[in-house]
Amino acid sequence: MMSSVRKAIVSNCEKKFLIKNLAEWTRLDGRAFDEFREIQIEFGKDWGCCYVSLGKTKVLAQVSCEIQQPKSSRPSEGILNINIELNPIAAPHFEAGRQSDLSVQLNRLLEKCLKDSKAVDLESLCIKMNEKVWALRLDINVLNHEGNILDCASIAALAALAHFRRPDVTSDGEEFIIHSYKQRDPIPLVIQHYPVCITYSIFNGGEFILADPMLLEENVADAFFIDWIECIQGTLWFTPWRVDVILNTTNKAASRAETVVQLIKEAIEQDNERRLEKVELGFHKAVEAKPVENSIGDLSICIDQWSVKHKKSKKKKNKLTEGEEKIIKEISETVQVTEIEALGVGSAALVPQDSEDGNRWQASDSENDDDDVMVVDIPKPVIETVDILDTGSEEEIVVILNADKKTKKEEKENKTMIDTILT
Amino acid sequence: MEKPQLSCKLGILSRPDGSAMFCEGETTVIAGIYGPVEVKMQKVINDKASVECSYRPKSGLPGIEDRLYESLIRNICETSLMASLYPRSAILITLQEMHDSGQLISCAINAACLACLQSGIDMKFMFGAVTCFLTKEEVISLMPPISKSDVKALFVFVFDNAAGRIIASHTEGSFSEEQYKEALNLGREESKNVFIFFKKTLVGINSC
């Protein structure tokens, strides 16, 4: 009851307006149906601190680590905890420090995306079996809720994990020494693959499918389709849906995920370069650099210019179809999804046919698979080169192995360089 | 004397009525304010708005220290805002740490002030905060020492811009009375610069 205080209610006329516009192939903010909002990734000065905006939705993620005793069921694995906080800054009905249905749901979806898919190699976080492992804590603070928190949070989470570096630990048999960042170069996490969530909202029982819903669209939609790519898996809620539509949307999501992951990798690489150059980093630099943003929402501008837009709609349609064709072509080259497994009422899993390690994903309700069917196709000692790795498909992994050797050499050179500088 | 570079961006968030990202040196805080909005039944005050403040560290759950900052900032905002204009309503102020290199509290207070100003809510006066550090070598400075362990004491002073009175003072560590007075004078001088900076940012907003 209390959580409904201050919550904005979507009126019937808003709903009708939105649906009517969709029938005319327009969205309120002028995007095409399969167009996503712009992603911006900024890193803070601390390792693993990442500020992501997806349009106007903004999220801050921070990874921190400490040494803990491992779980007795998994004595050789590190621990990853994901904690999403709906900060009251994001929307007035969010309450500080209290779990709501939304936060629990988002938390679980992110856990599925990052933890259950084993994106982070937890075994490399083990210091001593049964006694000491690194426990990672991923804190995600939602700062501005303008729809599609999940996509934004998953991008921030992944970027923060890929950016984070833990302190080095050495052991002399008895004692463990944790080296500070200054004493020894910190070690990045091993990211085995890069899963991101891609959300589509569904209107009128599958008639309209919108990518990256904004707040109003999110409130009106009768279902969501969330994909987390890499281990292609979808959930489908509350609505009967045709199989071909699911396939089509998943394919689109796959190509989108690729661009998102590329963006994250580029951002991290850029940050690493700047750190090597010893450029002063941090949010304060970003604030100084950018001119003051216009505080008026895009939406209101869009609505002000409504009549103008309407006339242009013919041209837009052409663009849209062209774009779609492109995307579909791209997809047919990249991922082929064919099988659908029913998991229960209202949910289904998509299994990629072409990958031979097909069972990379296990349905979450069959968690008794302790024998680790997970195919770990990355060789173990790649710790230092994660951010360059690309674990899309098996073919690409071959490339990684080569890249790995190369980068190792390069790194050796770098190290000697650093040594000489130090001396 | 060397002092931290101030920078600020207003209106960075679209949902809150007022928002600001404020940087003091490297320390960065985001502040957002909603208000006046609907108030919860148990927090209704009949003759004025109830001011609520929440502070969120960037990692981990908020601890006792964070609650202390919350109550400090809540008290400052309550004295500065014209809460009696909005009876039976609530004003929510939320702060999010982005990066901490020492001046976290003063940075949060300044961010809160700019967010209030940007939202256009009625205020009696502006408030600006300054952090002074007392290092192990008994030197008082405005810049944080490179390593945190060199800080012997930390002073945070909050001033109003109308009468130049001190509104709040927060200290950590041990120091002598003279040192406190010295830091207070230093803070008072520096607070003038803070208010000049506030005015510059606000004028910059209005002109474009």
Residues in B closer than 8 angstroms to A284, CB to CB, are: 5, 7, 23, 25-28, 99
The per-residue pLDDT for A214 is: 86
The per-residue pLDDT for B184 is: 95
pLDDT of A2 over the 90 cut:
no
Residues in A closer than 8 angstroms to B204, CB to CB, are: 292
Interface test with A, best of B8, B12, B93 (most A CBs within 10 A): B12
Amino acid (1-letter code) at residue B90: A
pLDDT of B1 over the 80 cut:
no
The per-residue pLDDT for A315 is: 41
The per-residue pLDDT for A180 is: 87
Choose between A45 and A396: higher pLDDT.
A45
% residues pLDDT > 90 (chain B): 81
% residues pLDDT > 70 (chain B): 98
Residues 291-320 of A with CB under 8 A from B: 292-293, 295, 297
pLDDT of A205 over the 60 cut:
yes
Across A101-122, average pLDDT: 89
**Cβ–Cβ of B38/A145 closer than 8 Å?**
no
Structure tokens at B184: 């207070």
Across A137-154, average pLDDT: 93
**To the nearest whole angstrom, how far is the Cα of B15 from the nearest Cα of chain A?**
6
Choose between A303 and A5: higher pLDDT.
A5
Scanning every residue of chain B, which has its alpha carbon at the shortest distance from the alpha carbon of A290?
Answer: B9
Residues in B closer than 8 angstroms to A49, CB to CB, are: 58, 98-99
Question: Given pLDDT bands bounded at 50, 70 and 90, which one contains residue A389?
Answer: very low
The per-residue pLDDT for A183 is: 85
For chain B, say whether A282 makes contact (Cβ under 8 Å): yes
pTM equals 0.78
**Cβ–Cβ of B11/A44 closer than 8 Å?**
no
Question: Given pLDDT bands bounded at 50, 70 and 90, which one contains residue A219?
Answer: confident
Scanning every residue of chain B, which has its alpha carbon at the shortest distance from the alpha carbon of A283?
Answer: B28
**Cβ–Cβ of A92/B92 closer than 8 Å?**
yes
Scanning every residue of chain A, which has its alpha carbon at the shortest distance from the alpha carbon of B63?
Answer: A97
Across B12-20, average pLDDT: 93
**To the nearest whole angstrom, how far is the Cα of A47 from the nearest Cα of chain B?**
11
Round to whole Å and give the CA distance between A355 and A336. Answer: 9
Across chain A, mean pLDDT equals 72
User: Which of A92-101, A240-249, B198-207 reaches the highest mean pLDDT?
Assistant: A92-101
pLDDT of B48 over the 60 cut:
yes
Scanning every residue of chain B, which has its alpha carbon at the shortest distance from the alpha carbon of A281?
Answer: B26
Among the partner-chain residues A2, A45, A141, the one whose CB lies closest to the CB of B56 is A141
Interface test with A, best of B5, B6, B96, B110 (most A CBs within 10 A): B96
Tens-digit pLDDT profile for residues A277-336 = 888 888 888 777 655 454 444 556 665 665 544 444 444 444 444 444 444 444 444 444
Residues 134-193 of A with CB under 8 A from B: 137, 139, 141, 143-146
Tens-digit pLDDT profile for residues B69-80 = 999 999 999 999
pLDDT of A224 over the 70 cut:
yes
The per-residue pLDDT for A25 is: 87
The per-residue pLDDT for A337 is: 44
For chain B, say whether A250 makes contact (Cβ under 8 Å): no
Tens-digit pLDDT profile for residues A37-65 = 999 999 999 999 999 999 999 999 999 99
Scanning every residue of chain B, which has its alpha carbon at the shortest distance from the alpha carbon of A58?
Answer: B13
For chain B, say whether A256 makes contact (Cβ under 8 Å): no
pLDDT of B177 over the 80 cut:
yes
Residues in B closer than 8 angstroms to A46, CB to CB, are: 99
Tens-digit pLDDT profile for residues A329-387 = 444 444 444 455 555 545 555 554 544 444 444 444 444 444 333 333 434 333 333 33
Alpha-helical regions (H) of chain B: 64-80, 104-119, 177-207
Torsion of CA A233, A235, A236, A241, to 10 degrees: 10
Chain B positions with Cβ closer than 8 Å to A: 5, 7-16, 19, 21, 23, 25-28, 30-32, 34, 37-38, 40, 54, 56, 58-62, 92, 94-96, 98-99, 101, 118, 204-205, 208
**Cβ–Cβ of B204/A292 closer than 8 Å?**
yes
**Cβ–Cβ of B98/A51 closer than 8 Å?**
yes
The residues with which B172 forms a beta bridge, in sequence order, are B154
pLDDT of A419 over the 70 cut:
no
Across B123-139, average pLDDT: 93
The per-residue pLDDT for A237 is: 47
**To the nearest whole angstrom, how far is the Cα of A229 from the nearest Cα of chain B?**
27
Across A254-260, average pLDDT: 87
Supply the DSSP string of A380-394, one letter for each residue: S--GGGGGG---SSH
What is the fold of A12-372? Answer: Ribosomal Protein S5; domain 2 (3.30.230)
Across B21-39, average pLDDT: 92
Across chain B, mean pLDDT equals 92
Scanning every residue of chain A, which has its alpha carbon at the shortest distance from the alpha carbon of B201?
Answer: A292
The per-residue pLDDT for B203 is: 86
Question: Given pLDDT bands bounded at 50, 70 and 90, which one contains residue A171?
Answer: confident
Q: Which residues, including other chains, have CB under 8 Å from residue B46's CB and lie 6 or more apart?
A: B87, B88
Query: Pick from A166, A175, A324: which is nearest to A256 by CA?
Result: A324
Long-range contacts of A64-67 (CB under 8 A, 24+ apart): A64/A136, A64/A137, A64/A139, A64/B59, A64/B60, A65/A134, A65/A135, A65/A136, A65/A137, A65/A164, A65/A166, A65/A167, A66/A134, A66/A135, A66/A137, A67/A127, A67/A132, A67/A133, A67/A134, A67/A135, A67/A169, A67/A176, A67/A178
Indicate the range of A365-369, B11-15, B17-21, B94-98 predicted with least confidence.
Answer: A365-369
**Cβ–Cβ of A46/B99 closer than 8 Å?**
yes
The per-residue pLDDT for A341 is: 56
Residues in B closer than 8 angstroms to A58, CB to CB, are: 12-13
A380, burial (CB in 10 Å: exposed 0-12, middle 13-18, buried 19+): exposed
**ipTM, two decimals:** 0.91
Question: Given pLDDT bands bounded at 50, 70 and 90, which one contains residue A113?
Answer: confident
**To the nearest whole angstrom, how far is the Cα of B159 from the nearest Cα of chain A?**
24
Residues in A closer than 8 angstroms to B69, CB to CB, are: none
The structural domains of chain A, with segments of one domain joined by +, span: 12-372, 383-422
Scanning every residue of chain A, which has its alpha carbon at the shortest distance from the alpha carbon of B19?
Answer: A89
Query: Pick from B3, B185, B176: which is nearest to B103 by CA?
Result: B3
User: What domains lie within chain B, and their CATH numbers?
Assistant: 6-202 (3.30.230.70)
The per-residue pLDDT for A3 is: 47
The per-residue pLDDT for A89 is: 93
Choose between B206 and A151: higher pLDDT.
A151
| Interface A-B: count of C-beta contacts within 8 A | 121
